[in-house]
C-alpha cells in the first residue's frame, strides 16, 4: 500500500535539513513504519480487530492484556489544556542576527551573523479552549523558544504591545472574567459577555489594551501577518556589565493584515482552523513565514525620561520616540511532526534566560516568573517536563536534580549533591567569564508594602494615542467592535459604566458607540471610577484622570502603514465551470504565480472541468465545500457556457457578492463581466464593472476582454496589494 505523505517515514526525510535541534529531536522520532504492529512491550500483534473472548459470542476476558493496554493508553491520551492560550499552532524555524549586538548584549546567539539558532514558535489565542475557533476576537500569543548554545531563551510575547493589567495579582480575576461564565460555560472564545465587561469597566488600567483588542489587530488575516511584542521592558547586558532597557518586537515581512469582523464570524463556521491551516500550508508550500526581530533600546539614564513608566505594561514606547532597530530575522521552515508531542507539550517560560538578557521590576513580569513553571507541573505531570524532546535544550545540561515522575535521564554514580569530593565537585559552577549566568546587580531597597507607583496612574493618554493614530477605517472598526461587544452585554449598568470609561478616552468615541447601542453616555457614575485598588487606597488612585488635550499620534500604530504590500502567498479563487476560456485562466494564473500569489480553481463540483477548447483543469475546491471568506480575492473567468452555468448557481453568485461586501479585489474577463452584472456587484454606486471589454478598474473591480487577461491581472494584483478596497465599505456594509 502507498504511504501517506504525512507518515513518519516521510517526516524523517524532512528532518534532513539539519541543525542542532533537528538532530536532537530526531533521537525521538519513531523509526520506520516497516515491521509488525506491536504492543508497547514490543510483542508482535496478530489480531488488532478482535478482543479475546470466551467463545465467538462470549464475554471478553480480563486476561486480554493487548486490549487492556490499548484502551488504557487511549483513556489517558489527554492532558489538561493550558488555562490560557489553550488553542495554539506551532512551527520550527531558525533565527539569525544581521550583525553582532555585542555593544548591547553578551547573549551568544546575538553575536555572530553566521550562526543559525534553531527556534520553535507557538501562536495562540488566549481565552478559548483547545478546540475553539482561530478567528475569535482575542489577543494572539507569540511565544518563541530559541535553542541557543547557552541554553534555551524563551521570548513569550503577544501580538499586542501592552496588557490589560499592571500587576500579576489581578491575572486570575481578568481570566475568570473573560473565560466562559462559570454557571453555564457560555460563551466560548469570546469577550462579548457581561463578566468580561463588568471587570474591564471597573479596571480603567485596561483602557489602552481594550483599544487594541477592539481593533482589527484582534482578528488577523494570518498568523504570518501579525506583529509580536515582548511587552515588558527587559534588560540587555553587555560583556562590560552595562545594561540597556529593551522592548522586543517582531515585524512580519508580509506586512500586517486583518479580516473584517463579518468575515471572522463566517470563517469560524467555514474553517475554524483557518490560521492553523494557513500556517501549515504556507510552510508545506515552501512559503516560509518571516519576521524581523526589533529592539527598542533605551539607555539606563533615560529610565525616567518619559511621561509613562517603563515598568508599566499598559504602556508602549512610541516608535516615534525610540525607533525599532531590526536586528535579525526568524524564518519558520518546518512543520511539526506530531502536534501533541511538539505544539501541545512545548513549555515556555519568560524566566528561561541566557546571559546578556535580564528582567526588570515590571510587576506583571515578576508574577509571570512564578506562574509558568507552576502551571507546567500540573499540565505536563511533574518536574521533568524539561526532558520532553521539544523542551530540552541543545546546550549540555548537568545538575543534581533527580527522580520524579517520568524521569527519562539516567544519572549514573552516587553523587547527587554539591559540593562533593567524591566526584571532584563536578559538575562545577560556571564563572561568569565561562558563561555562568549572573543576575544584573540592580540596586533595590524599599519598604515592604502592597502598593502601586503613582507613575502607573495615567490610564487614558495612551488609549487616546492608539485610538487617534488609526486610519478612519480602522477607527470605525473599533467603534463597531465596541458596539458588538457591549451589545452582547445584557446588564445595563455594565454597558453604561463602560461607556463612561470610553468617554474618559474620547467623548466622540463614547457617543459613537452609545449611538449604536441606543443608549446615552452617562455624565457621571456613582462612586470611584477605579475599583481595582486596595481597600485603603488613596483617593487619587480611585479617580484616574480623564484624557483631555491633543493625543500624541504614532504612525506605527496603524496597520495600514504596511500597505500596499506585495501579494505573496495570497489566495485567489477563480470561479470556473465547464466551457471556460482557458487562455484567460492561464494568463491570470501565470501573472498571479509570478507575483507570488496562488490561483485556486473553484468549480461547481469536484473532479476536472473542460474549457471551450476541450482542455481540462482540476478543481481545487468545489463550491459546496468552500466560501469566498477563505480567499483574498476572486476572479470570474470568461467563457459563455461557464458563466451561464455559474449564474444559475446561487452559491456562485453569493461567492462573488460576499467577496465584494468584504471589500476584496474582484476581476472578470470576457463573459465573466456579464456574470458580475447579474450580481449585487453591479448595483452599488461607484462600483459598476465596465460593460465594455476594455481593461478598467472601477472601485477595485477589474475587468477586460478574455484576450486582455494579463493586463487585467496586472491591475488586479495592484488592488490585491492594497489588501482591501476600503472606499467600498460604507456602501456595502
**Which residues form the interface with ligand HDE (CB under 6 A)?**
82-85, 88, 122, 124, 141, 143, 156-158, 163, 168, 171, 231, 346-348, 364, 367-368, 371-372, 375-376
Quickly count: other Cβ atoms within 10 Å of residue 310's Cβ: 21
Residue among 676, 695, 701, 670 nearest 582 (CA)? 670
What residues does 121 pair with on adjacent strands? 91, 144
Kindly tell me which of 364 and 653 has the beta carbon lying closer to ligand HDE: 364
Q: Residue 368, annotated ligand binder?
A: yes
Cβ 446 to ligand HDE, closest distance in Å? 21
Q: Residues of 349-379 as b/e, b for ≥16 C-beta within 10 angstroms? A: bbebbbbbbbbbebbbbbebeebbeebbeeb
Q: Which is nearer to ligand HDE, 84 or 202 (CB)?
A: 84
Cell representation of residue 337: 511532526
Backbone angles phi, psi at 96, to 5 degrees: -135, 130
Cα distances (angstroms) measured from residue 81 to each of 76, 78, 84, 130, 346: 14, 8, 8, 7, 12
576 is written with which cell numbers? 470556473
The one catalytic residue among 92, 152, 158, 208:
158
420 counts as catalytic: no
Closer CB to ligand HDE, residue 372 or residue 484?
372
Closest-by-Cβ residue to ligand HDE is 141
Q: Which is nearer to ligand HDE, 95 or 631 (CB)?
A: 95
CB of 375 to ligand HDE, least distance (A): 4
Annotated ligand binding at 217? The verdict is no
DSSP E strand stretches across 444-570: none
Look up 391 and say whether it is catalytic. Answer: no
Query: Within 13 A of 111's CA, how many CA atoms are on the CB side?
Result: 15
Q: Is 189 helix (H, G, I), strand (E, B) or coil?
A: coil
Q: Is 402 annotated as a binding residue?
A: no
Residue 380 beta carbon to ligand HDE: minimum distance, rounded to whole angstroms = 9
Complex with ligand HDE: residue 346 or 573, whichever CB lies closer? 346
Closest CB to ligand HDE among residues 84, 119: 84
Q: How many residues does the structure list for the chain?
A: 733
Active-site residue, selected from the candidate residues 19, 48, 50, 85:
85
Instruction: Give whichever of 310 and 668 is closer to ligand HDE, judged by the CB atom.
Output: 310
Q: What is the rounded CA–CA span in Å between residue 377 and residue 552?
A: 44
Backbone angles phi, psi at 562, to 5 degrees: -100, 15
Phi, psi dihedral angles at 363 (to 5 degrees): -70, -15
Instruction: Consult the annotation and say whether 82 binds a ligand.
Output: yes
User: In the complex, what is the shortest distance from the CB of residue 354 to ligand HDE, in angstroms, rounded to a whole number?
Assistant: 18
Q: Which residues pair with 617 in a beta bridge?
A: 609
The Cα 251–Cα 326 span in angstroms is: 8
Q: Tell me the closest approach of the beta carbon of residue 177 to ligand HDE, in angstroms.
A: 14
Helix (H, G, I), strand (E, B) or coil at 296: strand
Q: Residue 96's beta-bridge partner residues?
A: 329
618 strand-pairing partners: 608
SS3 call for 605: coil
Identify whether the C-beta of residue 120 lies closer than 8 Å to the C-beta of residue 390. yes
Closest separation between CB of residue 213 and ligand HDE, Å? 13
122 is in an annotated binding site: yes
Distance separating the N- and C-terminal Cα atoms of the chain: 52
Cα 174 from Cα 351, distance rounded (Å): 22
Kind plus residue range of the DSSP H or E element containing 264: helix 261-270
Nearer to ligand HDE, 82 or 468 (CB): 82
Shortest separation between residue 245's beta carbon and ligand HDE, angstroms = 16
Residue 118 CB, shortest distance to ligand HDE, in Å, is: 17
Is 68 annotated as contributing to ligand binding? no
Q: What is the 3-state secondary structure (H, E, C) of 508-544?
A: HHHHHHHHHHCCCCCCCCCCCCCCCCCCCCCHHHHCC
Q: Is the peptide bond before 304 cis (omega within 30 degrees of 0)?
A: no
Which residues form the catalytic set?
A: 85, 158
Binding-site residue set for heme = 82, 122, 171, 368, 372, 379
Binding-site residue set = 82, 122, 171, 368, 372, 379
Amino acid at each position: 500500500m502507498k504511504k501517506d505523505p504525512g507518515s513518519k517515514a516521510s517526516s524523517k526525510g524532512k528532518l534532513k535539513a539539519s541543525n542542532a535541534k533537528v538532530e536532537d529531536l530526531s533521537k525521538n522520532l519513531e523509526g520506520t513504519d516497516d515491521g509488525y504492529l506491536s504492543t508497547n512491550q514490543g510483542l508482535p500483534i496478530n489480531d488488532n480487530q478482535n478482543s479475546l473472548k470466551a467463545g465467538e459470542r462470549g464475554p471478553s476476558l480480563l486476561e486480554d492484556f493487548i486490549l487492556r493496554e490499548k484502551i488504557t493508553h487511549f483513556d489517558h491520551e489527554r492532558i489538561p489544556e493550558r488555562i490560557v492560550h489553550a488553542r495554539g499552532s506551532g512551527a520550527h524555524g531558525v533565527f539569525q542576527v544581521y550583525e553582532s549586538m555585542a555593544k548591547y548584549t553578551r547573549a551568544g546567539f546575538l553575536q555572530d551573523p553566521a550562526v543559525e539558532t534553531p527556534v520553535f514558535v507557538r501562536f495562540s489565542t488566549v481565552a478559548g479552549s483547545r478546540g475553539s475557533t482561530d478567528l475569535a476576537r482575542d489577543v494572539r500569543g507569540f511565544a518563541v523558544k530559541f535553542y541557543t548554545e547557552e541554553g534555551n531563551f524563551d521570548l513569550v510575547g503577544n501580538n499586542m504591545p501592552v496588557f490589560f493589567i499592571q500587576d500579576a495579582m489581578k491575572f486570575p480575576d481578568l481570566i475568570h472574567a473573560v473565560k466562559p461564565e462559570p454557571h453555564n460555560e457560555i460563551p466560548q472564545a469570546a469577550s462579548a459577555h457581561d463578566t468580561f465587561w463588568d471587570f474591564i469597566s471597573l479596571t480603567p488600567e485596561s483602557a489602552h489594551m481594550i483599544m487594541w483588542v477592539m481593533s482589527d489587530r484582534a482578528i488577523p488575516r494570518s498568523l504570518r501577518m501579525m506583529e509580536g511584542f515582548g511587552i515588558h521592558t527587559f534588560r540587555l547586558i553587555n560583556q562590560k556589565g552595562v545594561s540597556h532597557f529593551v522592548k522586543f518586537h517582531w515585524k512580519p515581512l508580509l506586512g500586517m493584515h486583518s479580516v473584517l469582523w463579518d468575515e471572522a464570524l463566517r470563517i469560524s463556521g467555514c474553517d475554524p482552523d483557518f490560521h492553523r491551516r494557513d500556517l501549515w500550508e504556507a510552510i508545506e508550500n515552501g512559503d516560509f513565514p518571516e519576521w524581523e526581530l526589533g529592539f527598542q533600546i533605551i539607555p539606563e539614564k533615560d529610565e525616567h525620561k518619559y511621561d509613562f513608566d517603563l515598568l508599566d505594561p499598559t504602556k508602549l514606547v512610541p516608535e516615534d520616540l525610540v525607533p525599532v532597530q531590526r536586528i535579525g530575522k526568524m524564518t519558520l521552515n518546518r512543520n511539526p511532526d506530531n502536534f501533541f508531542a511538539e505544539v501541545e507539550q512545548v513549555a515556555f517560560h519568560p524566566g528561561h534566560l541566557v546571559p546578556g538578557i535580564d528582567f526588570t521590576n515590571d510587576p506583571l513580569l515578576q508574577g509571570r516568573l512564578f506562574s509558568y513553571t507552576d502551571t507546567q507541573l500540573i499540565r505536563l505531570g511533574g518536574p521533568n517536563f524539561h526532558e520532553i524532546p521539544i523542551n530540552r535544550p541543545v546546550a549540555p545540561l548537568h545538575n543534581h536534580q533527580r527522580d520524579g515522575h517520568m524521569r527519562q535521564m539516567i544519572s549514573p554514580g552516587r553523587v547527587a549533591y554539591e559540593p562533593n569530593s567524591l566526584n571532584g565537585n563536578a559538575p562545577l559552577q560556571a564563572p561568569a567569564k565561562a558563561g555562568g549566568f549572573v543576575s544584573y546587580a540592580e540596586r533595590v531597597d524599599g519598604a515592604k508594602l502592597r502598593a502601586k507607583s503613582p507613575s502607573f496612574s495615567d490610564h487614558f493618554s495612551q488609549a487616546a494615542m492608539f485610538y487617534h493614530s488609526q486610519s478612519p477605517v480602522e477607527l470605525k472598526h473599533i467603534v463597531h467592535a465596541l458596539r458588538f461587544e457591549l451589545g452582547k452585554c445584557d446588564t445595563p449598568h455594565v454597558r453604561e459604566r463602560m461607556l463612561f470609561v470610553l468617554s474618559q478616552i474620547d467623548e466622540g468615541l463614547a457617543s459613537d458607540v452609545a449611538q449604536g447601542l441606543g443608549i446615552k453616555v452617562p455624565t457621571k457614575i456613582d462612586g470611584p471610577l477605579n475599583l481595582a485598588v486596595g481597600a485603603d487606597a488613596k483617593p487619587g488612585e480611585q479617580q484616574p484622570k480623564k484624557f483631555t488635550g491633543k493625543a500624541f499620534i504614532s504612525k506605527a500604530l496603524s496597520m495600514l502603514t504596511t500597505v500596499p504590500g506585495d501579494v505573496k502567498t495570497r489566495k485567489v479563487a477563480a470561479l470556473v465551470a465547464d466551457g471556460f476560456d482557458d487562455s484567460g485562466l492561464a494568463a491570470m494564473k501565470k501573472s498571479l504565480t509570478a507575483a507570488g500569489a496562488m490561483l485556486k480553481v473553484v468549480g461547481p463540483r469536484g473532479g476536472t472541468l473542460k474549457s471551450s477548447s476541450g482542455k481540462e483543469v482540476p478543481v481545487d475546491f468545489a463550491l459546496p465545500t468552500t466560501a469566498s471568506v477563505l480567499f483574498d480575492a476572486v476572479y470570474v473567468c470568461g467563457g459563455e457556457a461557464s458563466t451561464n452555468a455559474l449564474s444559475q448557481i446561487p452559491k456562485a453568485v453569493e461567492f462573488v457578492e460576499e467577496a465584494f461586501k468584504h471589500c476584496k479585489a474582484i476581476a472578470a474577463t470576457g463573459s465573466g463581466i456579464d456574470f458580475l452584472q447579474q450580481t449585487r456587484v453591479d448595483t452599488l454606486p461607484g462600483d459598476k464593472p465596465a460593460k465594455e471589454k476594455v481593461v478598467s478598474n472601477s472601485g477595485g473591480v477589474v475587468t477586460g476582454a478574455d484576450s486582455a487577461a494579463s493586463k487585467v491581472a496586472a491591475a488586479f494584483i495592484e488592488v490585491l496589494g492594497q489588501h482591501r478596497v476600503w472606499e467600498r465599505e460604507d456602501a456595502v456594509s
